[in-house]
Amino acid sequence: MNRTAPSTPGSDTMLAALRQKILEVLADLPPTIRADLVALLGRPGYVLHADAPCRAGVLALEVHAAVSGQPPGRTALLTAAAVELQMEAAYLFDEVADDPPNGRRCEDLALAIALLTAGGTAAVDAAADCRDPSASLRRFCTAYGEACAGQFLDAMLQRRGAASLEEALEATCLKSGGLGGFIAGFAARIAGADEEGVALFERFGSSTFTFGQLLDDMRDACAQGELSDLAQHKATLPVVFYSQEGGSPVGLDGMLSQDIHETYESSGAPLYVAIVAQVYMSRARRDLSLLARRAYAVGGLGRFLKSVELGAEEILSAARVRLVA
């Protein structure tokens, strides 16, 4: 999901408390790596940057509040810190995968592993007082493993090439949807939701994060410069659709010509992905309604979902304009 979206509904107080808790978790790491981790997480888009959306942590806090009916305390903040650190590790793995084979790849890979261990430590502390700590932690591990499977599939498809639409969507659902389900499910378990409630929260998180990722893929598919997904031959849904429709190949320099931009815009790829994304938004709304019927306090989750939807409105509107044209 978008790393720099300004519309996160988390209050400044909530985000400040989350960032402070993350710094407390990192304080237990060796000094030789701690300063580099803090510097990393202070980059634009990462959790300690002032403008970072912190969507993983905010979603966890809203889920915990929906179940417990209480403002965020120590356990909720530890839960949010745990999933936010796991999310940051996933983003860093993405950056390492996309980087050329020089630079700081080895150091960043070590930092990503350190983030995973820090997130695991916070998860253990968060689960200590919940109803079934071992079951919560086991699901914490297995659910994150599902997202890792998506990360693997995404990298494999990009290396192999010639991905199908089904494979591209599966990678998105496993990777980003898996992270959303992981976040919401863990927070719901820690807060004391029953199994049916946990399943609903997991579905809500999965659909919301899949929607967000599909919109990010639309935004990045034909962006200016050599960092667009088309230029990098990524196996995202809009790029795969465009390729299957016989889209013009990208030049050896990785730059997209005006002809390629125009061909992409008229290929149907933006509209196709917008329709698929709306399916996942509809699923998220349905699950939010089901959670409300089960008497969960979903007001904060509704605002969270609205913020994700509003952040995508410009892209969806552009796709609708192309349909009319």
Cα dihedral 97, 99, 104, 110 in deg (nearest 10): -10
Q: How far apart are CA 81 and CA 41, in angstroms?
A: 12
Q: How far apart are CA 187 and CA 64, in angstroms?
A: 5
Tokens of 76: 């909720």
Contact 184, 201 (CB under 8 A): yes
Contact 241, 267 (CB under 8 A): yes
All residues at 6 or more sequence positions from 259 whose CB lies less than 8 Å from its CB, including other chains: 248
Note the pLDDT of residue 197: 96
Report the length, in residues, of the chain.
Answer: 325
Question: Which amino acid is present at 152?
Answer: F
For 149-205, write each residue's pLDDT tens digit: 988 998 899 888 889 999 999 999 999 999 999 999 999 999 999 999 999 999 999
Tokens of 253: 């320099």
Count of beta carbons in the 10 Å neighbourhood of residue 266: 13
Note the pLDDT of residue 262: 76
Q: How far apart are CA 256 and CA 167, in angstroms?
A: 25
Cα dihedral 241, 230, 149, 89 in deg (nearest 10): -140
Ordered structural domains, the chain, with CATH: 12-324 (1.10.600.10)
Contact 220, 310 (CB under 8 A): no
Note the pLDDT of residue 6: 43
Note the pLDDT of residue 99: 65
Which residue positions in the chain have pLDDT lower than 50?
A: 4-7, 324
- Vertex 183, ends 38 and 113: CA angle to 5°? 40
